[in-house]
Amino acid sequence: MSKLTYIDLFAGAGGLSEGFKKSDFEPLAHVEIMEAAAFTLKTRAAYHHLKENNLSSKYESYLKDYISREELYSDIPQEILNSVINEPIGKETNDKIFKKIDHILSGSKEVDLIIGGPPCQAYSVAGRARSATKMQGDPRNYLYVQYAEYLERYQPKMFVFENVLGLKSAGGGIYLKNMEKLFKKKGYSIHLFHVNARQFGVLQNRRRIVIIGWKNDFIPNLPDLDNYDSGLKSNVESIFSDLPFLNSGGGRNKFDRYASSSNHYLKESHIRNGIDIITQHVSRPNTTQDLTIYRIAVDKWNSNQERLKYSDLPSSLQSHKNLSSFGDRFKVVAEDLEYSQTVVAHIAKDGHYYIHPDINQNRSLTVREAARLQSFADDFYFEGSSNRGQRTAAFTQIGNAVPTLMAENIAKQIKNIF
């Protein structure tokens, strides 16, 4: 039996795609605007190709920094690398993207599924709060229109659309209403689910909307995602327990070793999945003032499980006059809880909201620790680009991603429908 196929739109680093790939779906194409994320998708495609052909040692050589990215790609079939389309989705570029996808399909492959969701900034409550115009008129509000163009052209039996809860309230709900009308016009019915990544074994409080759509002539037996429970649980300590000790500004981008053996959560989540190599366990450097604040925040939590309020800091440590807006600016990722705060792309700008719980390490989270909170496997490597720092690009991709464990559990339910 041939594998079920999918196209990933607004693919990012491929968190959603990774879950479907792990559930034995076949990716036909990934479309992504960010250059660094497109390289990440190519590197992951290289990993899967090499693994499936018993050539994992070459990928391990890349993680050990023995070979370059160009050398890694050199033995990968060009059609696999070309399946990652580094283009913005929109009226001006859709024909170009369609041409590339049509070439991949070559008239012989059908698309069973389209996955992905437009960037969430236009719909998120935080994004609207930061925008002077409340995101009114922002073209990202209407990217669902482009999504519908791909549904019309490739006629998948189903689609999976992930986004933030703010989609329901953005524009007073008009975007969601218009989205439903447009999808119906294209021949698709939809059902909206409210989910939390915690339900799927992710050690993170991450509430999202998942829309499942289906062609009107295809009647699915929908899963109850609202009440889904994978049963996989642990404390956040599991994320940190086996990683090397680091101080602020420390770490290695490639070829580090684990400090201790694995644990139940890391094994069951497949975060540690056989390759005995750590990459991107790298901490950003922090100022003396930030490190002083971090120690106060960690001490408050470890002593009394009390969160630091910005207004409680000595005036000498306060850099902002607006004490109310910055009240929750510094936050420890508490290792004794079952979930962390939501990992978002702002982690690329500073790590104040993601302070490591070990007062002796006294730093913000590394790229690898953030990736683990998003349930990415340790062999998942986040690429940089020609015009953006490696660490910043990686943090951005991780914060914007769909957690892979959540994606994998959803993919299994979709596979059951087929």
The mean-pLDDT minimum among 10-24, 64-78, 123-137, 213-227 falls in 123-137
User: Which runs of E-coded beta strand occur in 155-286?
Assistant: 158-164, 188-196, 207-215, 251-252, 281-282
Of 413, 409, 407, the closest CA to residue 162 belongs to: 407
Quick one: pLDDT at residue 132?
A: 44
Q: pLDDT tens across 290-337, in order?
A: 999 999 999 999 999 999 999 889 988 988 776 666 668 899 999 999
User: Which residues are designated catalytic?
Assistant: 120
Do 111 and 62 sit in the same domain of this protein?
A: yes
Please say if the pLDDT value at position 136 is more than 60. Answer: no
Half-sphere CA count of 104, side-chain side, radius 13 A: 27
Residues 68 and 115 in one domain: yes
Residue by residue, DSSP assigns 297-324 as HHHHHHHHS-PPPGGGS-GGG---S-TT
Query: What whole-number distance in Å separates Cα of residue 25 and Cα of residue 2?
Result: 9
pLDDT higher than 60, residue 43: yes
- Residues 226 and 242 both lie in one domain: no
Q: Which domain holds residue 179?
A: 5-230+401-417
292 shares its domain with 380: yes
Please report the pLDDT score of residue 398 as a whole number. Answer: 98
How high is the pLDDT of residue 327?
67
Whether residue 366 has pLDDT greater than 80: yes
Q: Highest mean pLDDT: which of 10-24, 137-151, 323-337?
A: 10-24
Q: Where are the alpha helices (DSSP H) in 253-350?
A: 264-268, 288-304
How far is residue 158's CA from residue 194's CA, in Å, rounded to a whole number? Answer: 18
pLDDT of residue 85: 98
Residue 139 has what pLDDT? Answer: 53
pLDDT value at residue 325: 65
In a domain, 396, yes or no: no
Distance CA 229, CA 409 (A): 10
The pLDDT-based confidence of 385 (bands split at 50, 70, 90) is confident
CATH number at residue 350: 3.90.120
Domain contains 392: no
The answer to which of 258-272, 331-345, 383-397, 399-413 has the lowest mean pLDDT is 383-397
Averaged pLDDT, 392-400: 96
Q: Do 362 and 411 sit in the same domain of this protein?
A: no
Whole-number average pLDDT of the chain: 92
Q: Is the pLDDT of residue 162 over 90?
A: yes
For 29, 173, 214, the CA distances from 180, given in Å and listed in that order, are: 25, 11, 12
Answer yes or no: are the C-beta atoms of 395 and 370 closer than 8 Å: yes
Q: Is 158 in the same domain as 177?
A: yes
Do 202 and 261 fall within a single domain? no
Share of the chain above pLDDT 70, in %: 92
The residues with which 364 forms a beta bridge, in sequence order, are: 355
* Range of lowest pLDDT (12-16, 118-122, 278-282, 284-288): 118-122
Cα–Cα distance between 29 and 95 in angstroms, integer? 15
Residue 393 counted as domain residue? no
User: In this structure, what DSSP letter does residue 332 have?
Assistant: B
Q: Is 394 inside a domain boundary? A: no
pLDDT at 147 over 80: yes
Dist. CA 75–CA 72, nearest whole Å: 7
* Residue with token string 């482009």: 146
**One domain for residues 305 and 289:** yes
> How many structural domains compose the chain?
2
Beta bridge partners of 164: 208
Q: What is the pLDDT of residue 324?
A: 67
Q: What is the pLDDT of residues 232-290, one digit of tens each?
A: 999 999 999 999 999 999 999 999 999 999 999 999 999 998 889 999 999 999 999 99
Can you tell me the distance from the alpha carbon of 26 to that of 36, in angstroms, rounded to the nearest whole number? Answer: 23
Pair (201, 288) in one structural domain: no
152 in the same domain as 90: yes
pTM over 0.75: yes
Query: Residue 366 domain-assigned?
Result: yes
Check whether residue 263 and residue 280 sit in a common domain: yes
In terms of domains, do 218 and 367 share one?
no
Q: Looking at residue 187, which CATH number applies to its domain?
A: 3.40.50.150
| 363 part of a folded domain | yes
State the residue for tokens 């390759």. 275
Q: What is the pLDDT, as a whole number, of residue 125?
A: 46
338 is a domain residue: yes
In a domain, 395, yes or no: no
- Alpha helices (H) along 141-228: 143-154, 174-185
Q: pLDDT at residue 389 above 70?
A: yes
Residues 6+ apart with CB under 8 A from 179: 144
Q: Are 330 and 292 within 8 A, CB to CB? A: no
